[in-house]
Structure 1
Amino acid sequence: MTLHTSDDTEIASLIKVRLETSDDEADIEALAAAAFGPGRFSRAAFRLREGVASDPKLSFIAKLDDRLAGSVKLTPCLIGGKKALVLGPLVVDPDFRKLGIGRELMNRSLFEARRQGHSLAVLVGDYAYYGPFGFDRVAPGQITFPGPADPLRILACELAPGVLDGYRGQAERDFG
């Protein structure tokens, strides 16, 4: 089912973005399973988030009426012993793509992370997509992820100016 019309702006204006709640978790998991399949469990970023709760003050969903349109999570991690955030997954229902939902979710989560005083967000992803949000490639070897991760896809976003140089080492789970 495709919800696109000749006026996608009209549909986009009906989409509401809010903090996720525990009631949303089953729908978020179903959307992630449909979008990424079982292979998501072996990805480096998933392994970094595994067993660690995302930050409920930084994780958002987008809904149209009662239907989940998208989700983004920020989860605490440690890089060389210093606190940081790992972004992901960012997932948008295929029926809602090209409406700016991913962009709105990204902007909202990063704005809140800055506002709440966080320093750095990292992810493994496509620079062409995440670059406009302030993510840049990390120098090879500066930050590593558990499991296989293409060094050219390890990206970081400084949430406070000039902090990236102070981060070096393995990204690890932060159980708080």
Structure 2
Amino acid sequence: MELHRETDADTWEVEALLDTCFAPGRTALSSYRLREDVAPARELCLVARGTAGEVAGAIRFWPVRVGAQDAMLLGPIAVHPTRQGEGLGAFLLQSGLDRAAVGGVERVLLVGDAPYYGRFGFRRLANVTMPPPTNPDRVLGIWDWAGVTGQVVRAKPR
């Protein structure tokens, strides 16, 4: 497995992977409204390629704001169905978080299942609100969320 930063050249393959892994209406989710016209944090976005060069998995991060604070919205994270169960999702997640920590990111949030993401240190963010119709129990964060409250909004458009 080869892991590298996502580049513009990877975009169409990563989008194809996301189409394979998620429902056709994935772009209608509220988290996608936060990504519109905002460039991803390319230094944190990763692509895993198999030995034949195929995209086996990918993870993306997007800048957002919560109240007056900057944060990174993690997602989507996807693993090709033929590679699921190999630990690649956990590897991508931990690798992305490691890069974020080294890069000085203070807080990361995502929308996901607490039992899965809790093992990486994510916890429910009771005072942070994603755009509807997001289930508040699925809004999770890691690192410095002390005193951070409010609605998650898009970072400045590119």
Which residue is equivalent to 2:24?
38
Given the two structures, how large is their TM-score scaled by the length of structure 2? Answer: 0.94
Residue 59 of structure 1: how far off its partner (Å): 0.4
Residue 133 of structure 1: how far off its partner (Å): 1.2
State the number of aligned residues.
156
Matched, 1:164 2:129: no
Bigger-Rg structure (1/2): 1
Aligned CA RMSD, in angstroms, stands at 1.1
Alignment map for 1:116-155 (pairs within 5 Å): 116-139=103-126, 142-155=127-140
1:47-94 Cα offsets, whole Å, 9 max, x none, are 212221111110001000210000001111000021000000000000
Which residue is equivalent to 1:29?
15
Given the two structures, how large is their TM-score scaled by the length of structure 1? Answer: 0.85
Sequence identity (%): 36
- Measure the CA separation in 2 of the matches of 1:99 and 1:23: 26
Residue 119 of structure 1: how far off its partner (Å): 0.6
Structure 2 counterpart of 1:166, one-letter code: G
Higher helix share: 1
The gaps in structure 1 that reach 5 residues or longer are: 1-14
The gaps in structure 2 that reach 5 residues or longer are: none
The answer to whether the Cα contact below 8 Å between 1:107 and 1:133 also exists between their aligned partners in 2 is yes
Which residue is equivalent to 1:95?
82
Structure 2 counterpart of 1:86, one-letter code: L
Structure 1 counterpart of 2:19, one-letter code: A
Q: Deviation above 6 Å: which 4+ runs of structure 1?
A: none
